Amino acid sequence: MNKINLVQMKAGQKGTIVRIEGAEAFSKRLGVMGMRIDKSVIKLSAFVFCGPVAIRVGRTVIALGYGMASKVWVQLEKK
CATH number of 3-76: 2.30.30.90
The CA distance from 12 to 25, in Å, is 29
- Per-domain residue ranges for the chain? 3-76
pTM beyond 0.85: the answer is yes
Give the angle 44-49-52 at the CA atoms, nearest 5°: 40
The CA distance from 70 to 63, in Å, is 13
Residue 60 CB partners (closer than 8 Å, separation 6+): 33, 34
The CA distance from 1 to 50, in Å, is 26
For the chain, percent of residues with pLDDT exceeding 70: 97
Render pLDDT for 10-46 as a digit per residue (tens, 0 to 9): 999 999 999 999 999 999 999 999 999 999 999 998 8
